[in-house]
Chains A and B, each alone.
Chain A
């Protein structure tokens, strides 16, 4: 049966209805979307038409950095040796489940993208990395790879790699080091993976959602791709929403969707929300007294120094404590340091301890200022961007929850922990 033409509207990557998280098998996938537009070979060098389409479509990385995919494809394809493609499905971010859902429910969409990327850069090796602990994602991918092997769909073999768990494992240099037989810890760059990665070859590391978008963009073209999203954030986006909503989970949205609308769609009450953490644990707190109508896209979030990052939205209710939540996350991030760099190891630990004092109302008059200075000092000082993310989180918390810091200090404890009411000041000045 012929596919019924390009998907209109949302969802694109996910499916709606019951059993939408069950793996879509190869036959159903091809029936739905047609076969992937593969050239059938992996010639050396760039496949220009495809790279130009990606460029025109404005597809950017969905693993957190938002880097334009076309630029990376070109750099890797122009390298001195045959490149390797690595699909990053490790998803170490605790507040995110979108990659696991995608791998589980639409394995062939991801694998189409992997093969298209391999052709785009002329790679003869393609490796898909999935967190070993994500059992359903691993099983779905194993079955999908077997199906493709049996039907000889792809020009090259797809290798599956079951990665260890951990926040930093998915950082691209850590992933490459692990694939090369080392520990899953970042390396000092340069050389970056796109220059010298798996087996010393130029290596394209791409998030699995980015690759799934590629599978559709290659089928339906850049104009279709841009029908959803904003000029600077084209295509749909997977977002994992959690916190003060009654229907937490993964949503596929049009970038630009206002925060208030997103919260409502997930069964939350925008007026009862105090702030959101956007981007991930390495993201930013946004005060909803001012930003309720801000659009969830990198262009709009960028205006306030935030980004959609790995597509994470955590909703903090007015009844919750932002300092408690930030302390918990900062502790987690400190614990996930790979332990290699002095400023990361010592700085993140010190920052978490300082936050804990703020939260318990035991801080000194200068604690917040010291934390602000430490955040500035650790940013950019690790081999990888891990400390930068922690610094961003903490700096935004000090800003958004500044009233709370005073209030905790005055009371010498956290009244939310104690079940007490919030102060009236934090409700003031809301513009909706």
Chain B
């Protein structure tokens, strides 16, 4: 069975730009000049999924989301 792909998304309304996600997942998230996360829109590679989950859990405003597709 093919594994379902996951993508990271930010809810820009609830995101407060703490930047925690960029610290925890620098491979996939960088910050813009104002401190808000720019998330790679490609499917998260399998070896990063666990890290991505941890970053999602760590976001203080629950703004970081993992979308299954």
Give Cα A382–Cα B12 distance, bound, in whole angstroms: 6
Contact A341 B34 (CB under 8 A): no
CB-CB under 8 A from A383, the residues of chain B are: 11-13
Contact B38 A381 (CB under 8 A): yes
Whether A377 is near chain B, meaning CB under 8 Å from some CB there, is yes
Q: Which of B11, B14, B34 contacts A343 (CB 8 A)?
A: B34
Of all chain A residues, the one with the shortest Cβ separation from B11 is A188
Of all chain B residues, the one with the shortest Cβ separation from A343 is B36
B51 CB → nearest A CB, Å: 22
Those of A349-399 within 8 Å (CB) of chain B:
350, 374, 377-378, 381-383
Contact B38 A340 (CB under 8 A): no
Contact B13 A343 (CB under 8 A): no
Q: Which of A340, A346, A347, A378 contacts B13 (CB 8 A)?
A: A340
Give Cα A383–Cα B63 distance, bound, in whole angstroms: 12
CB-CB under 8 A from B16, the residues of chain A are: 342
Whether A54 is near chain B, meaning CB under 8 Å from some CB there, is no
CB-CB under 8 A from A347, the residues of chain B are: 32, 34
Whether A169 is near chain B, meaning CB under 8 Å from some CB there, is no
Give Cα A347–Cα B17 distance, bound, in whole angstroms: 13
CB-CB under 8 A from B17, the residues of chain A are: 342
Give Cα A382–Cα B11 distance, bound, in whole angstroms: 8
Contact B34 A350 (CB under 8 A): yes
Whether A69 is near chain B, meaning CB under 8 Å from some CB there, is no
Give Cα A347–Cα B34 distance, bound, in whole angstroms: 8
Interface SS majority for chain B: loop
Contact A341 B33 (CB under 8 A): no
Whether B60 is near chain A, meaning CB under 8 Å from some CB there, is no
Knowing A188-B13, A383-B12, the reply to whether A342 touches B38 (Cβ < 8 A) is no
CB-CB under 8 A from B33, the residues of chain A are: 346, 350, 374, 377
B10 CB → nearest A CB, Å: 8
Give Cα A344–Cα B15 distance, bound, in whole angstroms: 12
Those of B25-41 within 8 Å (CB) of chain A:
32-36, 38
CB-CB under 8 A from A378, the residues of chain B are: 32
Give Cα A187–Cα B13 distance, bound, in whole angstroms: 8
Give Cα A340–Cα B12 distance, bound, in whole angstroms: 8
Give Cα A188–Cα B64 distance, bound, in whole angstroms: 12
CB-CB under 8 A from A346, the residues of chain B are: 33-34, 36
Of all chain B residues, the one with the shortest Cβ separation from A187 is B13
Give Cα A180–Cα B13 distance, bound, in whole angstroms: 19
Give Cα A378–Cα B16 distance, bound, in whole angstroms: 16
Of all chain A residues, the one with the shortest Cβ separation from B35 is A342
CB-CB under 8 A from A344, the residues of chain B are: 12
Q: Which of B35, B36, B38 has the most CB of A within 10 A?
A: B36
B31 CB → nearest A CB, Å: 10
Q: Which of A187, A188, A377, A382 contacts B32 (CB 8 A)?
A: A377
Of all chain B residues, the one with the shortest Cβ separation from A189 is B11
Give Cα A344–Cα B14 distance, bound, in whole angstroms: 13
CB-CB under 8 A from A341, the residues of chain B are: 12-13, 15
The contact string, 1 if C-beta is below 8 Å from chain A, for chain B 1-30, is 000000000011111110000000000000
A382 CB → nearest B CB, Å: 6
B12 CB → nearest A CB, Å: 4
Give Cα A340–Cα B33 distance, bound, in whole angstroms: 17
CB-CB under 8 A from B13, the residues of chain A are: 187-188, 340-341, 383
Give Cα A132–Cα B34 distance, bound, in whole angstroms: 36
Of all chain A residues, the one with the shortest Cβ separation from B15 is A342
Contact B12 A381 (CB under 8 A): yes
Contact B36 A188 (CB under 8 A): no
Q: 5 A-B contacts, Cβ less than 8 Å apart? A: A341-B15, A342-B35, A344-B12, A347-B32, A377-B33
Q: Other than the known A342-B35, A382-B12, what 17 A-B pairs have Cβ atoms closer than 8 Å?
A: A187-B13, A188-B12, A188-B14, A340-B13, A341-B13, A342-B16, A342-B17, A343-B12, A343-B36, A344-B12, A346-B33, A350-B33, A350-B34, A377-B38, A378-B32, A381-B36, A381-B38
